[in-house]
Amino acid sequence: MTEIEKKINDLRATLRYHSDRYYNDDAPEIEDFEYDMMMRDLKSLEEQYPEFDSADSPTKRVGGKADNSFDAVEHTVRMESLQDAFSKEEIFDFDKRVKEGAGDVQYVVEPKIDGLSVSLEYVNGEFFRGSTRGDGNVGEDVSGNLRVIRSIPLKLNTALDYLEVRGEVYMPKKSFERVVDRQLLNGEKPFKNPRNAAAGSLRQKDSKVTASRGLDIFVFNIQQIEGYELNSHKQSLDYLRELGFKTVPYYERVDSIEKAFECVEGIGEKRGELEFDIDGAVIKVDDFSKREILGSTSKFPKWAVAFKYPPEEKQTKLIDIEITVGRTGVLTPTAVLESVHLAGTTVSRATLHNQDFINEKGVNIGDIVTVRKAGDIIPEVLCVNEKNSVSNYVFPEICPSCGEKVVREEGEAAIRCINPECPAQLLRNLIHFCSRDAMDIEGLGPSIIETFVNEGMIKNTFDIYHLDKEKIASLEGFKETSANNIINSVEKSKQNDLGKLIFALGIRHIGEKAAKLLSSHFKNIDNIISASEEDILEIEGFGSIMAKSVVEFFSKESALQLVDELKKAGVNTESLSVVEDNRFEGKTFVLTGTLTSFKRSEASKIIESFGGKTSSSVSKKTDFVLAGEAAGSKLDKANALGVRVISEDEFEEMIK
């Protein structure tokens, strides 16, 4: 293999990895600008060396693949991506190509919203279906989650026979900040940027979670229309507004590429002041007949171009480092900066992640550093420009909240306080305990819990079960009805399965699924408390770290006291899972693809009711892979490993 071919292949592999992280995992690891530059390098090399062309190159793909957890939707009109430009010269080159193909044209310039592209379909003026872009040809049906976005009209002002529009679902900056604050309060890993947050929120299994995230949408294109004739892009945007859509803002029609670029610069100047995130501006040929003449390449239309703004960076002085303690006891450092204007806002704080990050960057108080807003929202320290300190900053050896010694366990980046009585962890532990996946106490959200803590009504977890209705009703902003609802929800939570209680206790390394396994294996909390590491390791899927964590948690006097108080309050500590028979005992199932007769959750419950269990990944220990429509990589892996693959019909026979 030649050096050039190796470079091309390496670029393709890197781009595929980051594309998968961005589109399908909603967890990007690099900035868009860095990705765009790699894509540009690959395009250039493929043009120079066509002998290394490949049909599956990232340059020939659009977006991500459809997620198998949602029904697949085939797009009748392909949802194309846009050609990127990074300089004025490239914009003028685009104009030259347009004029060569279609003569003089007018352009429409609009912001490029940084979100998740979706299709909305209407039949007889009523919302019929909504889907993601996916790979441009096939997306995923997310109709239920799109319905909870209030700016999406469910009924149009005019009952057109059929209409398909394209829009960008995004998370407003204020909504993003609220979501991140909540994640940090809960000790969760926060979303990296609004686009990542919007994509993750739109793919939720529970539309109530989607509704709570404050998503919004801008519609920017008509894909198909029956019952009305349109001739230009601006006309179509104006008409969409008449129909009741929230269209992309600040769009303007101009007569020349010079004026178009002035609009691009104007949008860029107001970028930091917008309530939503943009990563560029789009220039489109206005006349639809001219678009027809120009056509498209295999990847993008020839009648549009997206100018991408570079990320803004500034230098400033790091004047202090503050340490906060999260729900799980993790100590998190925050840089306190001399205020600097960045991407339209004043920045005075930035994340430093952990001690390893500080050591890698060589950061300490007094240094001059470069800061940038990740996704134009969360400030982060990129590097040290001027080292004014002798050494790097070192974390304190004691917890700033409770004064106990902190530890860093082998193999972990985090430094944490392991004192369960640490005051800084109380609020976060309470929020986790009451959350939906834990005890699911409706009405006890973060702000209300904080109010009760500040009022001295909750000083520890079991105080939740001794809340006084009259005391709640007497607080400002509360009434008898809301007090009743909270008390009723608290009472209802006492009947939860043991698995929810175990997860609610916040044992390190024990997630929701592991908590269910502990519950079903040991049947009651006393058996779990008395179990040894060896006993717990008998549960398939449990490793030594998880087993050790459970034993250590219940070895603490404070944990035993908490369990005792919860029992006294009437909280259920028994497993409620009912096994009809043991036909699947010792068997592990993996579910993949779209099931038609069951929801995945329903199939999982059936398997568990027969003594089996489900796993999210295929291995040699997997007994059955239940494959629905559009099964993907899990099916391939099952075939490669020789794991038995069963259809829904076979599964129904097995459970008769």
- Where in the sequence numbering do the catalytic residues fall? 112
Q: How far apart are CA 349 and CA 352, in angstroms?
A: 10
In Å, how far are 45, 133, 181, 298, 357 from 61, measured between CA atoms? 17, 12, 35, 9, 34
In Å, how far are 158, 463, 551, 640 from 443, measured between CA atoms? 40, 16, 32, 48
Strands 304-308 and 84-85, by their bridges, are parallel
Q: How far apart are CA 167 and CA 248, in angstroms?
A: 8
- Measured in residues, the chain has a length of 656
- Tokens standing for residue 69: 């957890």
> Is residue 179 within 8 Å of residue 171, measured between CB atoms?
yes
Instruction: Please give the DSSP secondary-structure letter assigned to residue 350.
Output: E
Q: How far apart are CA 278 and CA 115, in angstroms?
A: 8
Q: How far apart are CA 6 and CA 11, in angstroms?
A: 9
Dihedral sign from CA coordinates of 33, 39, 41, 43:
negative
Dihedral sign from CA coordinates of 487, 488, 492, 493:
negative
> Is residue 237 within 8 Å of residue 251, measured between CB atoms?
yes
Instruction: Please give the DSSP secondary-structure letter assigned to residue 255.
Output: S
> Is residue 464 within 8 Å of residue 433, measured between CB atoms?
yes
Strands 624-627 and 588-592, by their bridges, are parallel
Contacts of 633 (CB under 8 A, 6+ apart): none
Q: How far apart are CA 481 and CA 626, in angstroms?
A: 47
Half-sphere exposure in the Cβ direction for 125 (13 Å, CA): 11
Q: How far apart are CA 284 and CA 94, in angstroms?
A: 11
> Is residue 465 within 8 Å of residue 566, measured between CB atoms?
yes
CA angle, 226 then 229 then 234, to 5°? 115
- Phi–psi pair at 224, nearest 5 degrees: -145, 145
Dihedral sign from CA coordinates of 119, 123, 125, 128:
negative
List, as one string, the DSSP characters of 398-454. Answer: B-TTT-PBEE--TT-S--EE--TT-HHHHHHHHHHHHSTTTT--TT--HHHHHHHHH
Structure-token match 């900066």, residue found: 337
Q: How far apart are CA 643 and CA 151, in angstroms?
A: 46
Q: How far apart are CA 285 and CA 253, in angstroms?
A: 9
Cα-Cα end-to-end distance for the chain: 56
- Phi–psi pair at 5, nearest 5 degrees: -60, -40
Three-class SS of residue 92?
helix
- Tokens standing for residue 182: 């909540």
- Tokens standing for residue 656: 């008769």
Q: How far apart are CA 604 and CA 253, in angstroms?
A: 54
- Tokens standing for residue 384: 């040290």
